[in-house]
Structure 1
Amino acid sequence: MEYTEDSTVEQIAKEYLGGLKSGLSYCGADKVADARENAEFVKISGSTQYRNGAHGKDF
């Protein structure tokens, strides 16, 4: 989603919440506190980040 001056806080919050829920599912967690316990950090290459990074986002 691209944000414009017409974007509502609700639209933006829903998108971020969707990303958070997705991230929690990768950790096998239902809550952020559980994700902190289950998360593993993995070093990846720049090309992997580009290919598998946030969908629809340009960094």
Structure 2
Amino acid sequence: MVISSFASAIQHFLQGQSLTQVFINIINANIIAIAVFELAMVIKEGANKSTKTQSFREIVK
């Protein structure tokens, strides 16, 4: 992610964007990437709990 952000920053800067705008774009992209990662972890955790609950119900029957 760091290498990709660095490459993207260089590309935007070479295209003529101001340095401040480049930093803002990169920070926003990284925040979105972290949010998507966190959402995936929450979904995975919810799926694991659902599977455990279902297994428990099967044992109780």
> Above 0.5 in TM-score?
no
Q: Of the two, which has the highest radius of gyration?
A: 2
Name the TM-score, length of structure 1 as normaliser. 0.41
Name the TM-score, length of structure 2 as normaliser. 0.40
Larger RCO: 1 or 2 (CA < 8 Å, sep 6+) = 2
